[in-house]
Amino acid sequence: MKTEEIRLHVGGMSCHSCGFAVQGSLKKLKGVREVLVNLLEQSVIVECEMETQTGSSLISAVEDVGFVAQLIGTKREQAAEASDLETCELSVYGMTCQSCEAHLEKVIASRFPVRHAKFDASAQSAVVHYPKGSCNSQEIADAITDMGFDAFVLHKGMQLLFSGIIFLAFSWKRLKYRLNP
């Protein structure tokens, strides 16, 4: 039987335990063959038999274990769209809740011709897809900064570097506080 890969954005996954909970819930569904969880991207790729599962049934399974999910699309759809889209990955600091995420998504979608924008407060990150040549990553980052957040364009491999730097900065701050209360 033919299979389909469906990709979801899952907000709120912060550790391996979260990933295992999402993976376990999805693997229980009929026709699901494989579930790949990416904590850094806050995404899940589900390989299932065609026409046995829909995006909404997968979203329901994720929400049943306490996470927020959004359909990104199928591998086929993404391949067709990818040829005319640019992807901008950002670190966005200052978001604290889903209201911040929704506000940023709405404003960016109104200022730029984006196809899809997903902001994640728990990961302090964003992914924006827009038509090639319509704008650039730095313009999007500048617009976010103008709204009072700190935004930095991530280039390949920089997400891990930024995460490490932020971890070190917070560790240093805690150590400094312990030494000088």
Helices (H), the chain: 16-27, 55-64, 75-82, 98-111, 137-146, 158-179
* pLDDT tens digits, one per residue of 8-43: 999 888 888 999 999 999 999 999 999 999 887 888
As a whole number of angstroms, the distance between CA 163 and CA 181 comes to 26
What is the predicted pLDDT for the residue at 26?
A: 94
With 80 as the cut, is the pLDDT of residue 161 above it?
Answer: no
Q: Calculate the CA 91 to chain-centre distance.
A: 11
What is the predicted pLDDT for the residue at 133?
A: 85
Give the number of C-alpha atoms closer than 13 A to the C-alpha of residue 2, restricted to the C-beta side.
Answer: 4
Domains of the chain (ranges plus CATH)? 3-79 (3.30.70.100), 84-175 (3.30.70.100)
As a whole number of angstroms, the distance between CA 181 and CA 179 comes to 6
What is the predicted pLDDT for the residue at 4?
A: 86
Q: Which residue in the block uniquely carries the two structure tokens 């728990």?
A: 122
At residue 162, the 3 state secondary structure works out as: helix
As a whole number of angstroms, the distance between CA 45 and CA 26 comes to 10
What is the predicted pLDDT for the residue at 125?
A: 87
What is the predicted pLDDT for the residue at 25?
A: 94
As a whole number of angstroms, the distance between CA 146 and CA 148 comes to 5
As a whole number of angstroms, the distance between CA 89 and CA 142 comes to 13
Q: What is the mean pLDDT of residues 110-127?
A: 88
